Structure formats: structure tokens, C-alpha cells
Amino acid sequence: MTGTANPVRGEATLRVGGVPLVLRPSFEALVAAEAELGPLFALVERAAAGRLALGEMVALFWHCLKAAPEGMTREAFSEGVAEAGLVAATPALKALIGQILAGR
């Protein structure tokens, strides 16, 4: 879903292709990310150590995406995140990691 994130709900905003997308680390989203990436605590440890791979970050974002714009594929999403760069992705990653660690 495009729009504004609600930080009270643990949401973050990520701009992909100039479009603001809402990321929500719901239980369902985090379980799906964990199924693909392995334990979330290990993912957080890799991120803290500067060893989080771009593909891992994009996968976490994809699973937490509240709703993809119509026609946006995971491949297009991944390309958009890479094109925007790590500086643009870091605030959203920080917010998601904070929610993973803190819970609600």
C-alpha cells in the first residue's frame, strides 16, 4: 500500500520508484521472512555486524510490504530498492529491526 506509515503500528515507509510504500512487520510477515531467511535473531545479528546481504534486506522488506502497488513484482521491487540505494533503505531497515527486537 502506498501512503504514510503509522509508527504506532510499527510501520515504516520505503520509497521505491518514487512511490512511498508502507512496511508493516506483522506476525504473518515476520514468519514468512523467517521461513525464507532463517531465524530473525540471526538476521538482526548479521545486520548489527554489517553482514546483512542486500538480498536479505530486500526479502525482509518484501514480506513486510503492506500491499504492493498493482503490477509490482518482487523483481521490480528488488530493483527499485537497489536503485534507491542503501542510504534510502536504512531508516526502514532500522525501524523493522527495532520492531523485531521490541515487539509490540
Domain membership of residue 15 as a residue range:
7-102
Residue 67 CB neighbour total at 10 angstroms: 12
Q: What is the DSSP string of 52-75?
A: --HHHHHHHHHHHBS-PPTT--HH
Residue 72 maps to a domain: yes
Residue 1 maps to a domain: no
Answer whether 30's CB lies under 8 Å from 63's CB: yes
Residue 68 maps to a domain: yes
Rounded Cα distance between 38 and 88, Å, is 25
Taking the complete model, does pTM exceed 0.85, yes or no? Answer: yes
Q: How many domains does the chain have?
A: 1
Q: Per-residue pLDDT tens for 53-86? A: 999 999 999 999 998 889 999 999 999 999 999 9
Residue 16 maps to a domain: yes
Type of residue found at 61: F
Indicate if the pLDDT at residue 104 is higher than 70: no
Residue 28 maps to a domain: yes
Residue 41 maps to a domain: yes
Q: What is the mean pLDDT of residues 7-34?
A: 93
Residue 30 maps to a domain: yes
